[in-house]
Amino acid sequence: MTQPRPVYQYLAYSHYVLISMNRQLIIHTALAILFAHLLLSGQAFSQKRKPLPPIQGSKTLDPNKPPFSLTSLKNPTFQTKEKLLLDPCGNPVILKGVNKLSVFDDDDPTGTSYFPQIAKTGANCVRIVWEMNAANPLTRLDQLISNARASNLIPIVGLWDFTETDDGGFSHLNDYVNYWKSPAVVNLIKKHQAYLIVNIANEAATGDETNSADLTTYATAYKSAVLKLRSAGINVPLMIDGMDRGKSLLCFAQKGPEILNADPKHNLIFSFHAYWPKTDTDSDPTFIANAFAKVSSLPIVLVIGELAGFGAGQDNTKCAAPGTVDYLQFAQRADTARMGWMLWEWGPKGDPNCASMDITTDGTFSSILTTPNTWVRDLVLDKPFSLKNTQKTPFITSGLKSCPRP
């Protein structure tokens, strides 16, 4: 049997328990005070630190700037480099598309309906016909350019005001230049500069490509035009049509590099219109092959600005035998030379003197599927170099907005 402990031992043990409990209470209290202090300090720190910068693009959109960030682009515009046209990401692009008489189109004045139909062909660009008269507000041109981009089409805007004059508008070249370099137009170009090409003047040059004086006059005029546009702050590629109202290809063999070297941006595209009568001896397959051989090695970017199966004759013969064009020769030679082209013209009612030059009968892609025009089916759908097989870079498929992530 266990002996009972003395009373003084119970008293000592009770005192030890009380001291231990007080010690734990003190520790818990101290921890609680420390935790509260840290919590309050954290709140003070969070109040003093600088706020994070706003997310890019969260600001109100500037109407004079594109509605997306261009920070991912390697270059601010398309840029030519020797024989290549490079997109803003640095990838080569061969322009393949159609012409659209938008300025004369009352049914679809801003491309809302027709541009998506053009995109269904596989085209990567559209050459937009424009005029600088007061009846055509810049707001409409802005919409045309924006709607082309919305359909993943590179907009190429050209001026047509004096095309029907005797010299194709060459004597009005300064009028064209003054329009382009007006402040409002420059602002519009800068807004869309990441994907825009400017065709200074449609077919604005006459003269003989074998005449040295004519060649000098042509080159001098366009070198001056380019310098004026660059001085106005226009940095996009400038497209220049050939002599003989656009039909000369060999003028570029003589003067193309010279004009390019005069451009401080070295950013020019040279365009000729392939209305060479198939029945003429100076446009047979051998002549065409020799002409392409003379220019294909030049360090300049070349395109066929207008190509069709007809159109080489006068108004009353352009849809008859004298007006036929050996379009397959041109398309095949261009494909071999990695040269782009644009078909004339989307339609409908493009040329009152030659309905066969209309690609469509009602402006829709579906009408091409039943067209009787062999040249249309060949160049839009059936041949290996047709629009259907057009190359598209990631920049184009992004909606002309951005480069792919590295």
Is the pLDDT confidence value at 116 over 60? yes
Q: Which residues are bridge partners to 270 per DSSP?
A: 240, 302
What percentage of the chain has pLDDT greater than the value 90? 74
Is the pLDDT confidence value at 31 over 90? no
Is the pLDDT confidence value at 101 over 70? yes
How much is the average pLDDT of 133-160? 96
pLDDT band for position 70 (50/70/90)? low
Q: 10 Å Cβ neighbour count for 191? A: 18
pLDDT at 352: 82
pLDDT at 351: 82
Is the pLDDT confidence value at 51 over 50? no
Measured CA to CA, the distance from residue 302 to residue 286 in angstroms comes to: 20
The number of helices, as runs of H, and strands, as runs of E, in the chain is: 11, 10
Asked whether 236 and 197 are in contact (CB, 8 A), the reply is: yes
Asked whether 252 and 302 are in contact (CB, 8 A), the reply is: yes
Type of residue found at 177? V
pLDDT tens-place string over residues 349-387: 888 889 999 999 999 999 999 988 999 999 999 999 999
How much is the average pLDDT of 218-240? 98
Q: 10 Å Cβ neighbour count for 396? A: 22
C-alpha dihedral (396, 186, 220, 273), degrees to nearest 10: 40
DSSP at 379: I
pLDDT tens-place string over residues 149-182: 999 999 999 999 999 998 999 999 999 999 999 9
pLDDT at 280: 86
Measured CA to CA, the distance from residue 263 to residue 222 in angstroms comes to: 10
pLDDT at 279: 87
Per the document, the length of the chain is 406
Candidates 263, 260, 205; CA nearest to 234 is 263
Q: Is the dihedral of CA 93, 249, 81, 168 positive or negative?
A: negative
pLDDT tens-place string over residues 4-23: 444 444 434 444 433 444 45
How much is the average pLDDT of 22-35? 48
Q: 10 Å Cβ neighbour count for 188? A: 19
What percentage of the chain has pLDDT greater than the value 70? 83
Q: Which residues are bridge partners to 259 per DSSP?
A: none
Is the pLDDT confidence value at 40 over 80? no
Measured CA to CA, the distance from residue 169 to residue 176 in angstroms comes to: 9
**Per-residue b/e over 204-224, b at no fewer than 16 CB within 10 Å?**
bbbbebeeeebbebbbebbbe
Higher pLDDT, 106 or 10: 106
List, as one string, the DSSP characters of 391-406: ---HHHHTTSS-PPP-
Measured CA to CA, the distance from residue 368 to residue 371 in angstroms comes to: 5
pLDDT at 58: 34
pLDDT at 350: 85
Is the pLDDT confidence value at 336 over 50? yes
pLDDT tens-place string over residues 292-325: 999 999 999 999 999 999 999 887 789 998 999 9
Which residue is it, tokens 């682009």? 73
Higher pLDDT, 25 or 184: 184
List C-alpha distances in Å: 94 to 59, 192, 329. Answer: 36, 20, 18
Measured CA to CA, the distance from residue 388 to residue 169 in angstroms comes to: 34
Domain 79-397 in CATH 3.20.20.80? The answer is yes
Measured CA to CA, the distance from residue 137 to residue 73 in angstroms comes to: 30
How much is the average pLDDT of 267-281? 94
Asked whether 123 and 359 are in contact (CB, 8 A), the reply is: no
Phi, psi of 268 (to 5 degrees): -125, 150
Q: 10 Å Cβ neighbour count for 112? A: 13
